[in-house]
Amino acid sequence: MSPSPRHVPLNRAQGRRALLGGAAALGAALALPRPLLAQTAATPAATGPFRLDPLPYANNANEPHVDAMTMELHHDRHHAAYVTNLNAALRDQGQLAAMPLPDILARLEQVPEGIRTAVRNNGGGHANHTMFWQIMGGRGGAPTGELAEAITRDLGGFDKMKADFNAAGARRFGSGWVFVTVARDGKLALVDLPNQDSPLMSGGRALLGNDVWEHAYYLKYQNRRPDYLAAWWNVVNWDKVAERFAAAKAGTLAI
């Protein structure tokens, strides 16, 4: 009886060829630029109507307050998974899949019950993170102009808004988000929501928001969520937040 394939010994020439082939493959992989490696491993091609946009800045743009590894994992793995799962849930829902995401989330009760939870969680995750990346990459500071006036009018001033925002984020049990929402008339409000729920689900719009899931901060801050919340203000891009405020008042703010 012939030995099973796993027991057939390689002769010296075959072993050398196998070793050289494996080394060549490893060398080719290591020669790839690191972003390409990360994208290949972590960001599968979308197979539906929704796409994961690249970050508008480098992974290390928010250092030292939000570390580059957290940004890479958060965007390339966590956000990518929401997009992939949302597309999978909507695969056989032609009319629903063709709707803009804010409209889908505002009409969750009309989503078929069998996929409603998947759409809620993954659609909310996609919307929340899309907003999140847009408002980061800045240098902190304070808002100015009409936005600063609205914060003073509706939220008691910038310092009080930050304190109330951080307190809401710290007391959110488990995973969730804290948002400043904006209405069409420019009125602001503070709200915290569980899981990947979004203000879009009640017809609102997020002006800005911070992710308090552990994956957003645990590599650097471990269980010190309040430290993360305080540090996060140093990377807010107030010019982008002001653009969102103006778009909300114009009725053109989508996500």
pLDDT per position as a tens digit, 211-223: 999 999 999 999 9
pLDDT in the model for residue 33: 35
Q: Is residue 44 part of a domain?
A: no
Which residues pair with residue 181 across a beta bridge? 189, 206
Q: Is residue 157 part of a domain?
A: yes
Q: Is residue 214 part of a domain?
A: yes
Average pLDDT, integer, range 74-98: 97
Average pLDDT, integer, range 166-192: 97
Average pLDDT, integer, range 141-149: 98
Q: Is residue 54 part of a domain?
A: no
Helix %, strand %, coil % for the chain, to 5?
Answer: 60, 10, 30
pLDDT in the model for residue 46: 55
Q: Is residue 210 part of a domain?
A: yes
- In this structure, what CATH number is given to the domain that contains residue 204? 3.55.40.20
pLDDT cut 90: percent of the chain above it: 81
Dist CA 131 CA 133 (whole Å): 6
- In terms of residue numbers, what domain contains 195? 67-255
Q: Is residue 45 part of a domain?
A: no
- If one counts the domains in the chain, the total is 1
Instruction: Give pTM, 2 decimals.
Output: 0.82
Residue at 179: amino acid letter: F
Q: Is residue 24 part of a domain?
A: no
Dist CA 185 CA 248 (whole Å): 8
Q: Is residue 197 part of a domain?
A: yes
User: Is the preceding peptide bond at 100 cis, omega within 30 degrees of 0?
Assistant: no
| Residues contacting 51, CB < 8 A, separation 6+ | 83
Dist CA 187 CA 154 (whole Å): 7
154 against 24, higher pLDDT: 154
